[in-house]
């Protein structure tokens, strides 16, 4: 493989899997040239250039409104222009294969490649495929699904391959000892319960944690790590007497999350695709509080998938409070048999070889391009 073009954006759940694929491809093909199509307004414009030596092409595109709206006419016009621009980028870069990892920006990129005869693959990170994946599934050579169950929503796909999410491949090498050390817990073997609501935090989860602070004080045999999100940190700390708790660490953000997850006995958080990839690869039981504000409510579908497979529990945000949350935590972390069963179930769901499987498939597709 000499050249690979990727596209995905909007959220980290689409960008980080793409970058995981880049790392895996470069590991096998050190001289590969990499390009990326994104938007200047998306997170990808900030994140991708930091990875080094990735050529960035930008397009102007927006997502469809799910309700009838005049904005959708503008969306169609932008899509047509973006397809034209992507065809130009593809002619210029001459990729062996094009990969989409989701988000509306990957729509024109992958569609243009398929129409130009370039081998294509899209990765669907969630149980419930997004509109972009559903649209592209009839045009691409391969749809790679991360979670079993997605295939029933992709009846027009030419070929479906269950690969897992490549983010899982990165975290299996995480260092639990380093994770404990970064939290100042190197000298203790207490199980860690981690509360995390994403990079910006989650207000309902923060409110529930505040309500169960008395329970935290009563359970000194457990260490609780509470990641508030940077925007909530000051207000949380102002309302918590940190000197009262010897078993509570409060942080605004954790930069070495894979290492901390590797040291964690139970994680309480959202149900985004990257989170699921990481915790299943590491075999970490979870209590998932899906965000009801995401497109198509796909996090609830993700959380139900984890719960139905015995790897975690789901608590809907409307049912979330301190006592409810503590009941579920207590039933897992203080029950060794249940905890062990959930950990094993999580590992069975994980695909730590996802990146390698995807590189194998991309290698096959790139050979098709060269033979033509």
State the Rg of the chain over Cα. 21
The answer to whether the annotation marks 148 as part of a ligand binding site is: no
pLDDT tier at 65, thresholds 50, 70, 90: low
The pLDDT of residue 222 is: 96
| pTM attached to this predicted model | 0.87
* Contact predicate 268/289, CB 8 Å: yes
* Same fold? 3-168+352-371, 173-349: yes
Region 154-179: what's the mean pLDDT?
A: 93
Q: Is the pLDDT of residue 173 over 80?
A: yes
Is residue 73 pLDDT above 70, yes or no? Answer: no
Q: What is the mean pLDDT of residues 222-250?
A: 89
Q: Sorting pLDDT into bands at 50, 70 and 90, what band is 82?
A: very high
Please name the fold of domain 173-349: Rossmann fold (3.40.50)
Q: Alpha helices of the chain — where are they, by DSSP H? A: 12-28, 44-47, 71-93, 106-115, 131-136, 167-171, 176-182, 203-211, 213-218, 233-238, 257-262, 273-282, 298-308, 322-333, 336-349, 354-371
Q: What is the mean pLDDT of residues 120-143?
A: 94
C-alpha separations of 357 from 27, 326, 352, 370 in Å: 13, 39, 10, 20
pLDDT at 127 over 70: yes
How far apart are alpha carbons 188 and 221 in whole angstroms?
A: 10
pLDDT of residue 256: 92
- Res 331: pLDDT: 96
pLDDT of res. 368 = 84
* 331 belongs to an annotated ligand binding site: no
Q: Is the dihedral of CA 199, 205, 210, 216 positive or negative?
A: negative
- Res. 188 pLDDT band, cuts 50 70 90: confident
13 among the known binding-site residues?
yes
197 or 265, which is more confident: 265
Residue 11 annotated as lining a ligand binding site: yes
Q: How far apart, in whole angstroms, are the C-alpha atoms of residue 197 and residue 253?
A: 10
Domain ranges of the chain: 3-168+352-371, 173-349
Q: Please, which pLDDT band fits residue 138 given cuts at 50, 70 and 90?
A: very high
Contact call for residues 325 and 268 (beta carbons, < 8 A)? yes
Higher pLDDT, 282 or 204: 282
Domain 3-168+352-371 in CATH 3.40.50.1110: no
Measured CA to CA in angstroms, residue 87 lies from 9, 17, 112, 114, 117 at distances of 19, 24, 6, 10, 11
């Amino acid at each position: 493989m000499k050249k690979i073009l990727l596209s995905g954006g909007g959220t980290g759940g689409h960008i980080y899997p793409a970058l995981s694929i880049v790392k895996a491809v470069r590991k096998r093909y050190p001289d590969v040239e990499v390009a990326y199509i994104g938007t200047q307004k998306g997170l990808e414009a900030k994140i991708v250039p930091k990875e080094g030596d990735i050529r960035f092409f930008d397009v102007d595109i927006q997502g469809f409104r799910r309700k009838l709206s005049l904005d959708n006419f503008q969306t169609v016009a932008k899509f047509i222009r973006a397809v034209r621009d992507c065809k130009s980028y593809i002619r210029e870069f001459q990729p062996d294969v094009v990969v989409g990892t989701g988000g509306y920006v990957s729509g024109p990129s992958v569609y243009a490649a398929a129409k130009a005869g370039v081998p294509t693959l899209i990765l669907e990170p969630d149980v419930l495929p997004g509109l972009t994946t559903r649209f592209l599934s009839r045009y691409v050579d391969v749809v790679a699904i991360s979670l079993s169950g997605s295939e029933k929503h992709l009846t027009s796909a030419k070929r479906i391959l269950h690969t897992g999410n490549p983010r899982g491949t990165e975290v299996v090498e995480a260092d639990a000892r380093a994770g404990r050390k970064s939290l100042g817990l190197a000298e203790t073997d207490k199980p860690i319960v981690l509360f995390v609501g994403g990079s910006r935090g989650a207000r309902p989860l923060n409110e529930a944690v505040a309500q169960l602070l008395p329970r935290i004080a009563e359970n000194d045999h457990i260490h609780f790590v509470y990641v508030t999100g940077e925007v909530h940190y000051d207000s949380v700390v102002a309302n918590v007497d940190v000197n009262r708790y010897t078993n509570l660490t409060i942080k605004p953000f954790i930069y070495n999350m894979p290492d901390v997850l590797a040291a964690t006995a139970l994680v309480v958080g959202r149900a985004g695709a990257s989170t699921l990839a990481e915790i299943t690869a590491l075999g970490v039981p979870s209590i998932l509080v899906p965000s009801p504000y995401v497109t198509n409510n796909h996090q609830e579908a993700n959380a139900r998938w984890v719960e139905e497979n015995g790897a975690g529990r789901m608590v809907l945000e409307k049912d979330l409070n301190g006592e409810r949350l503590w009941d579920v935590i207590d039933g897992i972390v203080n029950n060794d048999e249940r905890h062990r069963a959930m950990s094993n179930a999580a590992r069975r769901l994980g695909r730590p070889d996802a990146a390698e499987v995807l590189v194998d498939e991309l290698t096959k597709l790139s050979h098709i391009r060269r033979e033509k």
